[in-house]
Amino acid sequence: MLRERGQREVFCGLTGIIWLHRKIQDAFFLVVGSRTCAHLIQSAAGVMIFAEPRFATAIIDERDLAGLADCNAELDRVVARLLERRPDIRMLFLVGSCPSEVIKLDLSRAAERLSASFMPKVRVLNYSGSGIETTFTQGEDACLAALVPILPVESASAKQSLLVVGALAEVVEDQFRRLFTAIGIDDVRFLPPRSAMQLPAIGPATRYLLAQPFLADTARALEARGATRLAAPFPLGVEGTTAWLHAAAQAFGISDSRFHTAVAPEQERARGALARHREQLAGRRIFFFPDSQLEIPLARFVSRELGMELVEVGTPYLHRPHLAEELAMLPAGTMLSEGQDVERQLDRCLAAAPDMTVCGLGLANPLEAKGLTTKWSIELLFTPVQGFNQAADLAELFARPLVRRARLMV
Amino acid sequence: MQLTLWTYEGPPHVGAMRVATAMRGVHYVLHAPQGDTYADLLFTMIERLPQRPPVTYTTFQARDLGGDTAELFKNAARDAYDRFKPQAMMVGASCTAELIQDDPGGLARALDLPVPVVALELPAYQKKENWGAAETFYQMVRALAGAAPRERAAGAQPSCNLLGPTALGFRHRDDVTEITALLGKLGIRVNVTAPLGASPADLARLGDADFNVVLYPEIASQAANWLQRNFNQPYTRTVPIGVGATRDFIVEVSRLAGVDATDLLAAEDSRLTWYSRSVDSTYLTGKRVFVFGDATHAIAAARVAAQELGFTVVGLGTYSREFARDVREAAKAYGVEALIADDYLDVEAKIAEAHPELVLGTQMERHIAKRLGVPCAVISAPVHVQDFPARYSPQMGFEGANVLFDTWVHPLMMGLEEHLLGMFREDFEFHADAAPSHLGTGAKPVAEPAAAVVPAAVPVAVQAPVEVQGPVVWSPDGQKELGKIPFFVRGKARRNTEKFAAERGLTTITVETLYDAKAHFGR
């Protein structure tokens, strides 16, 4: 295990807004930050304005810093204007940034104050997506953790229920809901919900499954509300999905035979679909740059189900308790690295000359230009990849760059 | 605090990155928190550069703030020098690092590196990307341009520098090629092109040229002014975008270089001039265009639109506040009030209000136009991956003018198509709401399904037919007849008819009112 501290070529937590604002359809994300923050989200989103976005930036300017304008009064004015324009919004997140944290703008107090004036129509919450506090997907963790305190209380005497935690594509959510029903678990809730008005209730009867590996703070907040985590690997690939579902089945006292009857056809179909990609990928050497914290579950999937060889698996942050099952499944002696010194890591990557490099958008083309085949890691977050029916799609994301390289004759 | 949905310009340190990335042998050490490295993707993904920008970030985190961030910066600068061995370094801070006041310039000086180190002060809470690029280029020129220039030998070939092209610039790559060739035809040698492709050693040779050509005033004006004051080098004021401006530019540079341009002007090779005069272009006459972009491209586009394509400029604006005066001046010539705004919502409202038939704007206006169902061509940064075409596609010079002709005319309904639509507007496949055949579904005049929430600023009139508009009511027949008018003039017809009715105190608009108004206003 290599721990590095140097230049980290990663996004900050604000980037999570790109998927979260589409997930919770009546929520709006207002970053309180600088022009850099606005530029980052817009650039990471690819300037794709399909519709008016449900995010914006309140750009702090010189007047705010010099104390000529009262930041809180300014924020109230901006929020009022925003909510007037968007009467459909039911939940507003004030998202802290590097500058707002350095100047110690207290967004939790601002959120309380604004909530008091806009409730019950709009609830105002806050979390930090700043780069000094969060790396990329930790923004989602901070956002979900901010939701936990406002989740309705479920009485201790309630029947045991299942909460799936972590943003998933709607198609995946629907598949999981059907699967849980088939297994015999009917009361399944999701966090984040699709609407701010449908917050799942939690309490001591709540058993939760993490759908994403980067939710440390959310898990802590859920436990504080009495919920219990079901330890499992993450639902990537046939093996991961099976074990993830099985953890729930066990907690809900479902017999193994019923479980297997429910999942066997899906497993079968997914294995068949994977086989084609396995042919392409088996024996290929893969290198993961740290990005989304999905690296370890992905590495487990590509090594065990696709037969790929792991050169280095980088992760921005390793949460050992949540990843215990994943780590146990990695081949012995896998080279893990936590944190980053991007220059040294590039040196290692170029020296190892892997067949496939998983990395961020800033590194992909420069590595391609040096003859390496890359997969942009952000696509692994923006594509539905969890569950049985997506296992082959996930494999295909790795296979496509290699297929492409083989096809091109120029 | 300013509420911002989309921003036209990045922060000023991105401007500095554009200069560093354009140059050779330069490295920029940026004191910045984790996450600011996103800016690398602008260059590697949007511009598709095959190498990383020459930038090292300190990427400090919260835990570093309690400790010694200054030490972190010094280590990063030292390591960057050792690894990249640049001929010159730039150091500075991004917005967050500006707040912690570590003074990168002073820290870098203390390192005593064996190369020139240019310290950049780019106030992130006041200024923006283009200003940052201009300031950076100016500081680099000041620091590296060397001593006063040598006297030019009598009879030597006249020469100039091309100033302003950067990385992530809107067609800068091809403009440089085009203008270098044009100058070559006049017998003028390009001494140094900067920042694009220049090394610190090249900047030291700037003084060898007779004069400077400022391609992009937003980026090069400040440096050119300094060179004029210190090296006595005059610089050009004409930006050669469009046929007329290219002719003016040829006259201006030939005067500065002391060469004769008569032959070149006589042998002018422009397709735009002939295409614009060819009969098929008649339908372009008086098309209402709204122009918005950086100041240079917006002013140039308005001139080309009005003088070279025969359009009517119904709006002219810029997000470059530093050049607001120039844009206001230009707008006067078209009888419109200049829009100086970097608020996307204000721009959207103004465009909707002007009912243009074509928008010449940035990628932002492309989306505004899409929502309004108006065709759009992109004339200016902020850039998108599509603004780096694989083919040669300059904006400047005679070839640039040809590119403008194609780019602006293709999104429009073609001449014959427009007539046929007028004739057969009730054909079920060829109706008024149909998009031009060559545009697919992109230009449908209906609001996109995803754009369910209409910004309050957009008048309802252009979004969907409504029965009531102020005190004047449309009769069902009148409304139906209005629907037969092709979408690209319907907004104007509605507006004129309502104005006509209101002026006459009519409360109901019938079919007759519609045609009375049509006769009154003509077209």
Task: Establish whether B280 is a catalytic residue.
Answer: yes
**Do A306 and A178 belong together in one domain?**
no
Nearest residue of chain A to residue B77 (CA atoms): A7
* A374, two tokens: 């890359």
Residues 122-181, chain B: which have Cβ within 8 Å of A? 123-126, 128
Closest partner CB to A132 (pick from B33, B56, B123) = B33
Residues of chain B with Cβ-Cβ distance to A377 below 8 Å are: none
For chain B, what percent of residues have pLDDT higher than 70? 87
Radius of gyration of chain A (CA): 22
Identify whether A146 is part of a domain: no
Identify whether A142 is part of a domain: no
Nearest residue to A92 via CA among A77, A100, A82, A101: A82
**Do A118 and A32 belong together in one domain?**
yes
Q: Do A35 and B128 touch (CB under 8 A)?
A: yes
Identify whether A144 is part of a domain: no
Report the C-alpha gap between B447 and B443 in whole angstroms: 10
Of the three residues A204, A225, A259, the one that is the final residue of a domain is A259
Residues of chain B with Cβ-Cβ distance to A292 below 8 Å are: none
Band (pLDDT 50/70/90 cuts) for residue B373 is: confident
Band (pLDDT 50/70/90 cuts) for residue B241 is: very high
Q: B377 — contact with chain A (CB < 8 Å)? A: no
Distance of CA B173 to CAs B46, B199, B496, Å?
14, 16, 45
**Do A249 and A278 belong together in one domain?**
no
Instruction: Specify burial of residue B274 (Cβ count, 10 A radius: 0-12, 13-18, 19+).
Output: exposed
Tell me if B159 sits within 8 A of B189, measured CB to CB. yes
Closest partner CB to B99 (pick from A42, A103, A366) = A103
Give the gap in angstroms from C-alpha A62 to the nearest C-alpha of chain B.
Answer: 5
Q: Do B13 and A36 touch (CB under 8 A)?
A: yes
pLDDT at residue number A50 = 54
Identify whether A41 is part of a domain: yes
pLDDT at residue number B429 = 59
Identify whether A251 is part of a domain: yes
pLDDT at residue number B483 = 83
pLDDT at residue number B157 = 93
Q: What is the four-CA torsion angle of B434, B436, B439, B441, rounded to 10 degrees?
A: 0
Across the beta sheet with B472-474, the strand order is: B468-469, B472-474, B508-509
Interface test with A, best of B3, B48, B57, B74 (most A CBs within 10 A): B3
Tell me which residue has tokens 């100016």.
Answer: B138
Residues B110-159 pLDDT 10s:
999 999 999 999 999 999 999 999 999 999 999 999 877 667 677 789 99
Mapping DSSP onto H, E and C, the string for A221-274 reads HHHHCCCEECCCCCCEHHHHHHHHHHHHHHHCCCCHHHHHHHHHHHHHHHHHHH
Three-class SS of residue B49? Answer: coil
Number of domains chain A contains: 3
B224 or B444: which carries more pLDDT confidence? B224
Three-class SS of residue B271? Answer: helix
Of the three residues A211, A236, A259, the one that is the final residue of a domain is A259
pLDDT at residue number B466 = 39
- A to B CB pairs, distance under 8 Å: 199
**Do A248 and A283 belong together in one domain?**
no
Residues of chain B with Cβ-Cβ distance to A369 below 8 Å are: 50-51
Give the gap in angstroms from C-alpha A39 to the nearest C-alpha of chain B.
Answer: 5
List the catalytic residue out of B68, B79, B260, B280: B280
**Do A355 and A282 belong together in one domain?**
yes
Beta strands in B427-506 (DSSP E): 468-469, 472-474
Band (pLDDT 50/70/90 cuts) for residue B424 is: low
Q: Quick check: bond before B382 cis, omega within 30?
A: yes
Report the C-alpha gap between A2 and B43 in whole angstroms: 30
CA angle A189, A191, A195 (to 5 degrees): 90
Closest partner CB to A38 (pick from B4, B41, B49) = B4
Residue type, B110: A
Band (pLDDT 50/70/90 cuts) for residue B420 is: low
pLDDT above 60: residue B430: no
Contacts of B493 (CB under 8 A, 6+ apart): B482, B485, B514, B517, B518
Domain that holds residue A241: 161-259
Interface test with A, best of B14, B34, B376 (most A CBs within 10 A): B34
Give the gap in angstroms from C-alpha B325 to the nearest C-alpha of chain A.
Answer: 23
Contacts of B73 (CB under 8 A, 6+ apart): B29, B31, B58, B102, B104, B107
Report the C-alpha gap between B247 and B265 in whole angstroms: 7
Residues of chain B with Cβ-Cβ distance to A365 below 8 Å are: 44-45, 48-50
Residues 46-105, chain B: which have Cβ within 8 Å of A? 46, 48-52, 56-62, 64-65, 76, 79, 83, 94-96, 99-100
Identify whether A147 is part of a domain: no
Residues of chain A with Cβ-Cβ distance to B44 below 8 Å are: 361-366
Report the C-alpha gap between A402 and A408 in whole angstroms: 10
Report the C-alpha gap between B184 and B413 in whole angstroms: 39
**Do A39 and A73 belong together in one domain?**
yes
* A30, two tokens: 């207002």
pLDDT above 80: residue B418: no
Entry pTM: 0.90
Q: Do A132 and B124 touch (CB under 8 A)?
A: no
Residues of chain B with Cβ-Cβ distance to A64 below 8 Å are: 1, 125
Closest partner CB to A369 (pick from B50, B76, B96) = B50
Three-class SS of residue B190? Answer: strand
Strands A206-210 and A161-165: parallel
Q: B428 — contact with chain A (CB < 8 Å)? A: no
**Do A276 and A229 belong together in one domain?**
no
Strands B468-469 and B472-474: antiparallel
Report the C-alpha gap between B245 and B243 in whole angstroms: 6
Nearest residue to A258 via CA among A180, A312, A178: A180
Q: B464 — contact with chain A (CB < 8 Å)? A: no
Residues 212-271, chain B: which have Cβ within 8 Å of A? none
- The domain spanning residue A245 has which CATH number? 3.40.50.1980
Contacts of A198 (CB under 8 A, 6+ apart): none
Q: B442 — contact with chain A (CB < 8 Å)? A: no
* A314, two tokens: 């980088």
Backbone angles phi, psi at B89, to 5 degrees: -120, 150
Closest partner CB to A99 (pick from B49, B96, B455) = B96
Identify whether A150 is part of a domain: no
Closest partner CB to B363 (pick from A47, A85, A366) = A47
Residues of chain A with Cβ-Cβ distance to B364 below 8 Å are: 49
**Do A124 and A64 belong together in one domain?**
yes
For chain B, what percent of residues have pLDDT higher than 90? 71
**Do A67 and A37 belong together in one domain?**
yes
Q: What is the pLDDT along chain A (410 residues), one digit of tens a residue?
A: 899 989 999 999 999 999 998 899 999 999 999 999 999 998 887 645 556 789 999 999 999 998 878 999 999 999 999 999 899 999 999 999 999 999 999 999 999 999 999 999 999 999 999 999 999 999 999 999 999 999 999 988 899 999 999 999 999 999 999 999 999 999 999 999 999 999 999 999 999 999 999 999 999 999 999 999 999 999 999 999 999 999 999 999 999 999 999 999 999 999 999 999 999 999 999 999 999 999 999 999 999 999 999 999 999 999 999 999 999 999 999 999 999 999 999 999 999 999 999 999 999 999 999 999 999 988 898 899 999 999 999 999 999 999 999 999 98
Closest partner CB to A51 (pick from B58, B126, B448) = B448
Identify whether A148 is part of a domain: no
* A56, two tokens: 């914006």
Report the C-alpha gap between B493 and B488 in whole angstroms: 10
* B375: enclosing H helix or E strand: none
Distance of CA A7 to CAs A276, B25, B37, B197, Å?
38, 21, 9, 27
**Do A398 and A307 belong together in one domain?**
yes
Give the gap in angstroms from C-alpha B378 to the nearest C-alpha of chain A.
Answer: 14
Distance of CA A277 to CAs A286, A300, A303, Å?
15, 16, 13
Residues of chain B with Cβ-Cβ distance to A58 below 8 Å are: 1-4
Nearest residue of chain A to residue B128 (CA atoms): A35
pLDDT above 60: residue B67: yes
Q: B451 — contact with chain A (CB < 8 Å)? A: yes
Tell me if A355 sits within 8 A of A372, measured CB to CB. no
pLDDT at residue number B448 = 36
Residues of chain B with Cβ-Cβ distance to A82 below 8 Å are: 3
- In eight-state DSSP terms, residue B60 is B
Average pLDDT over residues B433-460: 40
Tell me which residue has tokens 């608020």.
Answer: B343
Phi/psi zone of residue A140: left (φ > 0), alpha (ψ -120 to 50 degrees), beta? alpha
**Do A245 and A219 belong together in one domain?**
yes
Q: What is the four-CA torsion angle of B274, B279, B282, B284, rounded to 10 degrees?
A: -50
Residues B154-189 pLDDT 10s:
778 999 999 999 999 999 999 999 999 999 999 999
**Do A230 and A314 belong together in one domain?**
no
For the ranges A41-50, B60-69, B268-277, the one whose mean pLDDT is highest: B268-277
Residue ranges in B355-486 assigned as alpha helix (H): 363-372, 397-409, 415-423, 476-483
